[in-house]
A and B are shown apart, each in its own frame.
Chain A
């Protein structure tokens, strides 16, 4: 009874944690409250349930903490999304393992249904998260991967999973449940492979919700209400969050959900040689130094180069010359919604200077210079003008409507989504090649000279 009471308190902590995390003021407190609830729940479970193997359990927990803490503390802010994907994946795997271990002699039908769901969703979430990790870490291509017979394979995997699921329900065979685990792993891979770079964050969010549901299902397996409540909370809030993200990016959710069945290989345009105009640091310094209004559009490249601080110094200098400077923050700048806000906050950029799409785009035609630093897809006019573009429909900064565009890039390599950007060939555009931090530091010196 007292264990149930402790679980109830823990569930309330989780609920308030999610509530807190939805408001800037209480976000951090909310997260800490969630952690406190978790400690309470784990201690309760240990006292209540670790009848045997207590020492082994403590060792496993200690090992987990030893692996997780340094990883979470040392990960660069730029790599946060893949870290979240990885943590999500191991959670899904844990849920699947719990259900597998608990399934020794069948049990009532509802128990078997819950087991099948936990194993299938948990293992799918695990393998899917690993693929998103590989995509974000650029271990594999970030472009949608469409296998030659991808659609047939995906449908085949779904069909096999369903057959195995029904077979497990009918026969209570452990061997079949193991086969279902493998099918779940394949399902996760088939689900994520066709997801293109721009949609990966949404896929992570969706997999996060799936793991929540797997945990909820495992709550039925173990008849544990805390697992049901917490898993369902994450499943429901995660689903809603996924929808909101998709809306913020103007991406139809069906692209991601059914990508495995509808994806077709993207036509790669002939690599004809097209001319671009590249400028020197001095050219760009003059362009910036004598402007009246500038919008800076930072992207992942800025973060990778750790150029947040250099960018802020340049902006402060330009403001000292009486120039109005704003940062245009795309909802998915960086690798995840809100990622760029975190990175710029790290560099002490005042919150008020961060402007969203709707604040910047209407005044774009009166902007003298749009300075694009390490961003690409979020300023690609193809998303607005070309219905065939894979990112068509994603809202963008209309920097091509500013009077001049300065595009700071490391190379002519296309952006994360792997799509060519018309803006590079625009007559208004000046390209400044080089590492973002290096270029910004040089620009800083050059503007000081003016």
Chain B
């Protein structure tokens, strides 16, 4: 358990560090990209559905898989569309 806590603390520091110098222009795409990344819950949803016993667990799991997929796929696609707009306007 301490191992997992260590990972948590280190990841938190890295998370702060990595976005510390972002310009206002990129706030929206960054938020949207981060939004897609937390869709990684899809991994968890697949794991529990794969090990599901009984109908309730299966239904909950499949619903989670569906929703997480919407989060992941929608998040990355919409972020890419936003960033596409900036193409050709590099300083």
Q: Is the beta-carbon distance between A53 and B50 smaller than 8 angstroms?
A: yes
Query: Is the C-beta of A287 less than 8 angstroms from some C-beta in chain B?
Result: no
Query: Is the C-beta of A405 less than 8 angstroms from some C-beta in chain B?
Result: no
Complex CA distance for A223 and B4, rounded to whole angstroms: 8
Q: Shortest Cβ distance from A429 into chain B, in angstroms?
A: 28
Q: Shortest Cβ distance from A245 into chain B, in angstroms?
A: 6
Q: Shortest Cβ distance from B68 into chain A, in angstroms?
A: 4
Q: Is the beta-carbon distance between A15 and B14 smaller than 8 angstroms?
A: yes
- Point out the residues of chain A lying under 8 angstroms from B51, CB to CB: 49, 51-52
Query: Is the C-beta of A124 less than 8 angstroms from some C-beta in chain B?
Result: no
Q: Is the beta-carbon distance between A248 and B82 smaller than 8 angstroms?
A: no
Q: Is the beta-carbon distance between B37 and A230 smaller than 8 angstroms?
A: yes
Q: Is the beta-carbon distance between A64 and B66 smaller than 8 angstroms?
A: yes
- Among B26, B42, B57, the one with the most A-chain Cβ atoms within 10 Å of its Cβ is B42
Query: Is the C-beta of A18 less than 8 angstroms from some C-beta in chain B?
Result: yes
Q: Is the beta-carbon distance between B73 and A65 smaller than 8 angstroms?
A: yes
User: How many residues on B have C-beta within 8 angstroms of the other chain's C-beta atoms?
Assistant: 79
List which A89-105 residues lie within 8 A (CB) of chain B.
90-91, 93-95, 97-98, 100-102, 104
Interface residues on A, range: 35 or more
- Point out the residues of chain B lying under 8 angstroms from A231, CB to CB: 38, 40-41
Q: Is the beta-carbon distance between A46 and B7 smaller than 8 angstroms?
A: no
- Among B27, B33, B43, B66, the one with the most A-chain Cβ atoms within 10 Å of its Cβ is B43
The stretch that binds B, out of A24-32, A133-141, A148-156, A319-327, is A24-32
- What is the chain A residue whose CB lies nearest that of B86? A345
- Point out the residues of chain B lying under 8 angstroms from A233, CB to CB: 11, 14-15, 18, 34, 37
Q: Is the beta-carbon distance between A90 and B50 smaller than 8 angstroms?
A: no
Q: Is the beta-carbon distance between A68 and B74 smaller than 8 angstroms?
A: yes
Q: Is the beta-carbon distance between A24 and B69 smaller than 8 angstroms?
A: no
- Point out the residues of chain A lying under 8 angstroms from B13, CB to CB: 236
Query: Is the C-beta of A19 less than 8 angstroms from some C-beta in chain B?
Result: yes
Q: Is the beta-carbon distance between B23 and A24 smaller than 8 angstroms?
A: yes
Q: Is the beta-carbon distance between A90 and B27 smaller than 8 angstroms?
A: no
- What is the chain B residue whose CB lies nearest that of A101? B60
Q: Is the beta-carbon distance between A87 and B11 smaller than 8 angstroms?
A: no
Query: Is the C-beta of A116 less than 8 angstroms from some C-beta in chain B?
Result: no
Q: Is the beta-carbon distance between A339 and B28 smaller than 8 angstroms?
A: yes
Given A216-B8, A228-B4, A235-B15 in contact, is the A98-B78 Cβ separation under 8 Å? no
Q: Shortest Cβ distance from B22 into chain A, in angstroms?
A: 4
Complex CA distance for A211 and B13, rounded to whole angstroms: 18
Query: Is the C-beta of A187 less than 8 angstroms from some C-beta in chain B?
Result: no
Q: Mark interface residues in A317-354 (1 if CB within 8 Å of B CB, else 0).
A: 00000000000000100001111011101100011100
- Point out the residues of chain B lying under 8 angstroms from A71, CB to CB: 74
- Point out the residues of chain A lying under 8 angstroms from B63, CB to CB: 60, 97
User: Closest 7 CB pairs between A and B?
Assistant: A64-B69, A236-B15, A68-B74, A91-B71, A337-B27, A232-B11, A72-B77
Chosen A-B contacts, 17 in total, with CB atoms closer than 8 Å, are A17-B33, A21-B29, A27-B29, A28-B86, A31-B80, A45-B46, A68-B69, A208-B31, A216-B11, A228-B4, A228-B7, A228-B8, A234-B35, A236-B12, A239-B16, A241-B34, A350-B89
What residues of chain B have their CB less than 8 Å away from a CB belonging to chain A? 1, 4, 7-8, 11-16, 18-52, 56-58, 60-87, 89-91
